[in-house]
Structure 1
Amino acid sequence: MIEVTDLYKEFNGTPVLKGISTTFEKGKTSMIIGQSGSGKTVFLKCLLGLHIPEQGEICFDGRNQTQLGIKARRQLRQEIGMVFQGGALYDSLTVEENIMFPLKMFTNNTSAEMLKRVNFVLERVNLSNVNNRFPAEISGGMQKRVAIARAIVMKPKYLFCDEPNSGLDPNTATVIDNLIQEITKEYQIITVINSHDMNSVMEIGEKIVFLKDGVKAWEGTNKEIFKTENEAIVNFVYSSNLFKKVREVYLNETK
């Protein structure tokens, strides 16, 4: 479990995160949502250890990230997989080389062992015969699947995704959502997704943390979000007429 307690972060004296507390559980797809400027990207970077909070704790299965020494912090980083917005693949490396990169950096595995692992994760994300192709030679959806394969190649305990559906068409976005959720459950990973895609929220948001002006304004599940009377989350999620109609249908069916 990742436990966040009373987290504060500021820049140049301006508070960005204001006392956020929440938990993220194993085997669940958890989502951080909010408008631009709400603090969700800063929150994700704090979880990743890229920002050091002024106050509060972030504990990974009992390990307080902010108090870890260099060796323990390095070990924690090896347990984290990251899917970046846009994929962030190395253009000059093949698909195989992109996925093998963390293995070369963090393990002493033989070339044969690394290749076996690369092929395994490629198979898991439903890609084959692309080992020697370059990112520019495959589609955007395939690039995202390669990014997911690279993120799980080290068998992480924790998976973080920053806008994994950015730039994808709705059908491909659904494929990526389902893949992330499947992997989360299959390997019992703690998965945290930073997203603005309400379709993703409704489909795979087993835990949703809604930030507004640096404060946790609401949290719950994608089912509870239909029933909530919290004005902030209702105004955010149901600004779309489509979602308003979906909510109305859900509330009428559950009366």
Structure 2
Amino acid sequence: MIEVKGLYKGFNGVEVLKGITTSFEAGKTNLIIGQSGSGKTVFLKSLIGLHIPEQGSIIFDGRVNTEMNTEQKRQLRQEIGMVFQGSALFDSMTVEENVMFPLKMFAKLSKSDMLEKANAVLKRVDLIGSNLKYVSELSGGMQKRVAIARAIVMNPKYLFCDEPNSGLDPQTAIIIDNLIKEITEEYQITTVINTHDMNSVMEIGEKIVFLKDGVKAWEGSNKEIFKTDNEAIVNFVYSSNLFKKVRQAYLNETI
């Protein structure tokens, strides 16, 4: 579980995050949504330690970020898996080498043990037999699955995904969403996803944090989104006629 308390972050005197307080539970898909400039990317980067907040705290299963020493921060880093927006795979490496990269960096394992772990996660993401392929030989969906395999090869407690469906067709995006959700539940990972994909929100949004102008404007589940009268989230999510019709159909059924 990750708890966030009173988080503030700014750049050059301009506040971007303005006192955000929320929590993300293990075993659930937690989504951060918001318009461009709402602060969701800064929020995600603050959670993983790429930005240092001016105020507030981030608590990882009882461990407060501001109270950690260098060794404790290093240990926390090994418990974090990251899926980047563009997958961020190494073009010069094979699938196998990409997946084993974190193990070479952080784990003291023999090559055979690293290969065993790599094969296990490649099997989990349905990429058996792709070990020796290079990134250029893979489709966008396959690249994303390699990125997920690499992110979970260290058995992380926390998984962060930055726009995991970026550049994917709708069908492949659904496959990636379902894969992330399944892995989250199986391994009881605290998963936090930064997304603008409303299909992801509706399908896997067990916990949704909506940011507007650096403030937490709403939070709840994808089921609660249908019932909320919060104007900010309604205007954001139901800007398309399709989602307006879906919401109205849901409300009609529950009357």
Q: Does the pair score TM above 0.5?
A: yes
Q: CA deviation at 1:67?
A: 2.4
What secondary structure does 1:82 align onto? strand
CA contact (8 A) 1:83 1:160 kept: yes
Amino acid at match of 1:9: K
Matches within 5 A, 1:1-255: 1-255=1-255
Structure 1 stretches lacking a partner, 5+ long = none
Structure 2 stretches lacking a partner, 5+ long = none
Amino acid at match of 2:19: G
Q: Partners of 1:130 and 1:10 in 2: how far apart?
A: 43
Q: Partners of 2:41 and 2:170 in 1: how far apart?
A: 23
Q: Partners of 1:78 and 1:254 in 2: how far apart?
A: 45
What secondary structure does 2:56 align onto? strand
Q: Partners of 2:51 and 2:185 in 1: how far apart?
A: 28
Cα deviations by residue, 1:41-85 (Å, 9 ceiling, x for unpaired):
000000001101010000000111122111100000000000000
Which contiguous aligned blocks of 4+ residues in structure 1 show a shift greater than 4 angstroms?
A: none
Cα deviations by residue, 1:120-157 (Å, 9 ceiling, x for unpaired):
00000011111000011010000000000000000000
Amino acid at match of 1:106: F
CA contact (8 A) 1:52 1:66 kept: no
TM-score relative to the length of structure 2: 0.99
CA contact (8 A) 1:58 1:65 kept: yes
Q: Partners of 1:190 and 1:12 in 2: how far apart?
A: 32
Root-mean-square deviation over aligned CA pairs: 0.4
Q: CA deviation at 1:206?
A: 0.1
Q: CA deviation at 1:244?
A: 0.2
What secondary structure does 2:222 align onto? coil
Amino acid at match of 2:147: A
Identity %: 76
Q: Partners of 2:66 and 2:197 in 1: how far apart?
A: 31
Amino acid at match of 2:176: I
